[in-house]
Chains A and B, each alone.
Chain A
């Protein structure tokens, strides 16, 4: 069950090796897959990186041995040597850059900066490149903080667009892995802008980049306190909705969760329902099915059932596990709100049943609901029912609604005409003067 709705397999192709690692760790914790398989997967995953010590540990764990194969030792030495070499190379660069005098002299214009550094501190282009390479190496070794620093410096200095672009990706990954969510969010926005503005050789490439960004951004969005607003804003923009629909419909789970748990974004629900319906042939999981049951079929029992499944799915999802409580609460509210809007008279007992609560709890819940959402309803204790007062907008109200904007509009209109008249008059006078 848990494995069936697990998305890790689908998401791995769109993530960096280093980013996959926490996912696998989480799976190990939840014991969704056999531990041994996961260990092997981890080993496979990291064996291409330079995190030699860690890989060695994994290797030993898998094979249950204590010996260190020679290749590991060799590799370790090589990596260390490389690190050493870069360290010395970048030493003076960093010194120069971090020199307060230099920082004071640096401006917005990159070319000028570079020129300045070249003249005064005999900088070369290759030195800037070294920063990039060193950043990459550090990232590969698992030293994410260092990598982020290097890449930051590189981006300040380099004018190479392609490298800058990949440095952006590297920086984002490094920030995510160090857990600097504020910085990561910033980086992500930069990257998003870069992807939107950059001209790709094929639309396919751009699509791919966006798909990647969506997957990477999940880390940020579900960890940053304001992330849930961000994800809704970003994923509902037309380019990203298209990306989801074409290349990664499973992201809908995250989008749905974000919308449901986000109190301020209720307006999005209609749009979300439309998209879920459109994509239902391609992707379905309990969470989208819940929305479908509630807003397409108005099947409250079905929704309730799905909600139970959702709970399990959420607790087994790396990104969503933190949002579980919120989701359940909000989902219940969704159900009852819809229910109240459609019904006039509701039996409290049955309602609490649909909401999976005891009768007393249900009553309390309803009272809270009435208070919070300002539903116009009363509880009839004798019959044990809730009676909704459906507001009927009177005709007068309707007419007022419709004509509300007219006077303002007309004012604008009048002033526009006036302006034109003036312009015409002045034009006429100038024409006469000529």
Chain B
């Protein structure tokens, strides 16, 4: 302690410290006077803080009395040239803190801090500016100076970039160029540090140009290459020329540059309003970016940098997987023309888009990194689904067993998984596989927040509570750029149409008190729609589908079809007419089924010809549908071949019979529940049998009491039977 004291004493007190003390004293006095002059009293906290500060300052100033005195006499007399950035900031923060505690001091203290800062920064800046003459001899030396300054708080980044650009112009040998370019690209990326903002487009383009320049050097001059684990060469600021046939490895990471460039591109797309021309302009840069990806991939292949190849191939895949084949082949052609013939990859040779995606994916499947494999698999499935290869995509998904492990994956991969599921659902829908489509979409659309799950928009509220700011920030960063979005409206429309086609016949079959719900959201919407007192003509997609569902339920399939056909969004799907035809047919069939379920009890026979006329289906079709229903015991009826009609077997149950059946079901349920209860009890008791004896005795009565309750409410004819089972149970 004393030692430290002595150490501190040894240092001459810096001039500005004294200056600060003096200024503080002055401010305080001023503030105190103001306070006296003011009519209104300062609030208690502020007053307390000011007093405390006054005392502290007095105590502190005692030890510096003479110096303060000296300063007051002559502000320049205390000469202190030492570099004191650290001390300054310390003091600054203290000052700011004090200012914060005392609101009156705030504006007074404000101007004083920047003053200090300014004076400090300019001096260092001067050192950086002092680049006078660059020759190829001292170029590397200069470069080193700049690199050493990098990352320091006092460095002006823009200034550095300018210098580096000048250096680049003067660089002659490839070694120099590579060195300068590596430094320049990293410092350009340094220029933007904040998490939220994106790199300016101009800056981005120049980086793109420089990476291309760098790659070009590698392509033309085989004597150098860059990789991550290279030994740092001590060049002593001299130029290095490689011996022929012995390439020199330099330390650097091209893959991180490329990835960063890609990330910045995505970030900019996230931030630009997608409905402006800016967005489209920005999208044009993708071709260049894609070319860089391919070019660097070739470079990595040439130097056999396996880890980097995997990463860059993944990036490449992520740029193509969601695009239609025509677009992919366009972008491939464009890339080829930009790069020229000498840049040829050895792993990815295909030109056909489907083949290209296949090759990219199969390459990634061989990687050791499981994340890459998973993502590649998902991209591959997405691509298949997009191109209407439902069975292939489904088989891949099932065989990959991703569904079991996806919950442990990182969030971007989960988002990708959701996208895949949705795309698969849409694909199934286009193929007319309603059930499959519904089950694929259920998870995402049924949750009620597809926007969030697909990363196509930020949810402002969750469970009625606003999302925390940092959470929202994170979510924003995960958003997909607009051009990758899946149309949410279309998704909703498809989902509800599927739900309608499944739910309406199921409801008709099960009767009014149906507890089995296929699609919760659909049911909710339908219930809501039915509660409305007045219904206007349908306006949005939902209204159309609800109207169609109600029409279908009452057997008016034509109205239902017309309503569904009136939805404009079908136009967004390829092959619209085909899909509409498919839907019309499904509505006819489901309409027939619904009709039979609903009205079967009012007929004793129905002519097949009549049905076929009503639903505009061929007789063969009708009989096939009816036969299926009979076979699956959904409809208690049979066909009469001679007269060509459906004979319905009336099973009119009396009230007592119905109740008896219900009661029997309940009794079965009860027994099952009791068994489960016992099993559960046994399972939990086995390990700690001895301790829980008493508790168990207490619980024993429970099943019995349950039985009694049921027996009381039960019906007479079967009481005897159930009564016996109860006694047996006891």
Give A contacts to B, CB under 8 Å.
246, 281-282, 295-299, 338, 341-347, 350, 383, 385, 388, 390, 392, 395, 398-399, 402-403, 406-407, 409-411, 413-414, 416-417, 420, 423-424, 427-428, 431
A383 to B641, CA, bound (A): 13
Residues of A within 8 A of B603 (CB): none
Q: Mark B655-674, 1 if CB is under 8 A from A, else 0.
A: 00100110011011001001
A427 to B636, CA, bound (A): 57
**Which of A341, A383, A407, A411 interacts with B630 by CB under 8 Å?**
A341
Which chain B residues in 622-637 approach chain A with CB under 8 Å?
A: 623-624, 627-628, 630-631, 636
18 additional A-B residue pairs with CB within 8 Å, beyond A298-B627, A413-B675 = A246-B399, A281-B391, A298-B623, A298-B624, A343-B640, A344-B639, A345-B640, A347-B641, A385-B642, A388-B638, A392-B651, A399-B664, A407-B724, A409-B675, A411-B728, A416-B678, A424-B696, A431-B690
Residues of A within 8 A of B639 (CB): 342-344
Inter-subunit contact A428/B693 (CB<8 Å): yes
Report if A413-B671 is in contact (Cβ < 8 Å); known contacts: A345-B643, A388-B638, A407-B724: yes
A428 to B624, CA, bound (A): 67
Inter-subunit contact B690/A347 (CB<8 Å): no
Inter-subunit contact B690/A427 (CB<8 Å): yes
From A346, which residue of chain B is reached at the shortest CB distance?
B641
Inter-subunit contact A410/B728 (CB<8 Å): yes
Inter-subunit contact B664/A403 (CB<8 Å): yes
Residues of A within 8 A of B724 (CB): 407
Report if A414-B728 is in contact (Cβ < 8 Å); known contacts: A298-B624, A399-B661, A424-B693: yes
A246 to B649, CA, bound (A): 44
Main secondary structure of the interface of A (DSSP, over half): helix
Q: Is B508 an interface residue (CB 8 A)?
A: no
Residues of A within 8 A of B729 (CB): 410-411, 413-414
A279 to B382, CA, bound (A): 21
**Which of B638, B653, B674 interacts with A413 by CB under 8 Å?**
B674
Q: Mark B186-222, 1 if CB is under 8 A from A, else 0.
A: 0000000000000000000000000000000000000
**Which of B665, B682, B690, B725 interacts with A410 by CB under 8 Å?**
B725
Inter-subunit contact A407/B725 (CB<8 Å): yes
A344 to B644, CA, bound (A): 11
A342 to B657, CA, bound (A): 27
Q: Mark B717-730, 1 if CB is under 8 A from A, else 0.
A: 01001101110111
Report if A299-B620 is in contact (Cβ < 8 Å); known contacts: A395-B661, A413-B678: yes
Inter-subunit contact A350/B641 (CB<8 Å): yes
Residues of B within 8 A of A282 (CB): 391
A346 to B167, CA, bound (A): 97
CB distance from B636 to the nearest CB of A (A): 8
**Which of A383, A395, A424, A427 interacts with B642 by CB under 8 Å?**
A383
Residues of A within 8 A of B660 (CB): 395, 399
Would you list 26 pairs from A and B whose C-beta atoms are within 8 A, ordered by A residue?
A282-B391, A298-B623, A298-B631, A338-B631, A342-B631, A343-B640, A344-B647, A345-B640, A345-B643, A346-B642, A388-B638, A392-B636, A395-B657, A403-B725, A406-B667, A406-B668, A406-B671, A413-B678, A416-B682, A417-B678, A420-B682, A423-B689, A424-B697, A427-B693, A431-B690, A431-B693
Q: Which of A296, A343, A428 gathers the greatest number of chain B CB atoms within 10 Å?
A: A343
Q: Which 3 A-B pairs have the closest CB atoms?
A: A298-B627, A344-B638, A410-B729
CB distance from A340 to the nearest CB of B (A): 9
On chain B, the number of residues with a Cβ less than 8 Å from chain A's Cβ atoms is 47
Report if A297-B624 is in contact (Cβ < 8 Å); known contacts: A342-B631, A411-B728, A413-B729: yes
Inter-subunit contact B640/A403 (CB<8 Å): no
A130 to B620, CA, bound (A): 69
CB distance from A241 to the nearest CB of B (A): 13
Inter-subunit contact A406/B678 (CB<8 Å): no
From B663, which residue of chain A is reached at the shortest CB distance?
A399
Inter-subunit contact B627/A402 (CB<8 Å): no
From A282, which residue of chain B is reached at the shortest CB distance?
B391
Inter-subunit contact B725/A406 (CB<8 Å): yes
Residues of A within 8 A of B620 (CB): 299
**Which of A296, A342, A402, A407 interacts with B728 by CB under 8 Å?**
A407
A342 to B643, CA, bound (A): 14
Q: Which of A246, A282, A407, A410 gathers the greatest number of chain B CB atoms within 10 Å?
A: A410
Main secondary structure of the interface of B (DSSP, over half): helix
A122 to B730, CA, bound (A): 72
Residues of A within 8 A of B624 (CB): 297-299
Which chain B residues in 228-282 approach chain A with CB under 8 Å?
A: none
Q: Which of B674, B725, B730 gathers the greatest number of chain A CB atoms within 10 Å?
A: B725
Residues of A within 8 A of B725 (CB): 403, 406-407, 410
Residues of B within 8 A of A399 (CB): 660-661, 664, 718
Residues of A within 8 A of B649 (CB): 390, 392
CB distance from A401 to the nearest CB of B (A): 9
Inter-subunit contact A343/B638 (CB<8 Å): yes
A384 to B661, CA, bound (A): 40
A279 to B697, CA, bound (A): 56
Report if A402-B690 is in contact (Cβ < 8 Å); known contacts: A297-B624, A298-B624, A413-B729: no
From A430, which residue of chain B is reached at the shortest CB distance?
B690
Residues of A within 8 A of B718 (CB): 399, 403
Residues of B within 8 A of A295 (CB): 631
Q: Which of A296, A299, A344 gathers the greatest number of chain B CB atoms within 10 Å?
A: A344
Inter-subunit contact A342/B689 (CB<8 Å): no
CB distance from B496 to the nearest CB of A (A): 26
From A385, which residue of chain B is reached at the shortest CB distance?
B642
CB distance from A380 to the nearest CB of B (A): 10
Report if A403-B728 is in contact (Cβ < 8 Å); known contacts: A297-B624, A343-B640, A392-B649: no
A420 to B683, CA, bound (A): 12
Residues of B within 8 A of A423 (CB): 689
Residues of B within 8 A of A392 (CB): 636, 649, 651
Report if A403-B653 is in contact (Cβ < 8 Å); known contacts: A298-B627, A410-B729, A427-B689: no
From A297, which residue of chain B is reached at the shortest CB distance?
B624
Residues of A within 8 A of B693 (CB): 424, 427-428, 431
CB distance from B173 to the nearest CB of A (A): 51
A338 to B628, CA, bound (A): 10
A106 to B375, CA, bound (A): 57
Residues of B within 8 A of A431 (CB): 690, 693
Q: Mark B681-715, 1 if CB is under 8 A from A, else 0.
A: 01000000110010011000000000000000000
A281 to B667, CA, bound (A): 45
Residues of A within 8 A of B657 (CB): 395
A37 to B99, CA, bound (A): 99
Residues of A within 8 A of B638 (CB): 341-344, 388, 390
Residues of A within 8 A of B640 (CB): 343-345
From A279, which residue of chain B is reached at the shortest CB distance?
B391
From A419, which residue of chain B is reached at the shortest CB distance?
B682
Inter-subunit contact B678/A409 (CB<8 Å): no
Residues of A within 8 A of B395 (CB): 246
A246 to B665, CA, bound (A): 41
A385 to B728, CA, bound (A): 52
Inter-subunit contact A298/B628 (CB<8 Å): yes
A275 to B192, CA, bound (A): 58
Inter-subunit contact B647/A410 (CB<8 Å): no
**Which of B653, B665, B682 interacts with A402 by CB under 8 Å?**
B665
Residues of B within 8 A of A413 (CB): 671, 674-675, 678, 729
From B625, which residue of chain A is reached at the shortest CB distance?
A298
Inter-subunit contact A342/B661 (CB<8 Å): no
Residues of A within 8 A of B697 (CB): 424
CB distance from B721 to the nearest CB of A (A): 6
Report if A403-B631 is in contact (Cβ < 8 Å); known contacts: A345-B640, A413-B674, A428-B693: no
Residues of A within 8 A of B628 (CB): 296, 298
A257 to B516, CA, bound (A): 38
Residues of B within 8 A of A341 (CB): 630-631, 638
CB distance from B649 to the nearest CB of A (A): 6
Residues of B within 8 A of A346 (CB): 641-642
CB distance from B77 to the nearest CB of A (A): 83
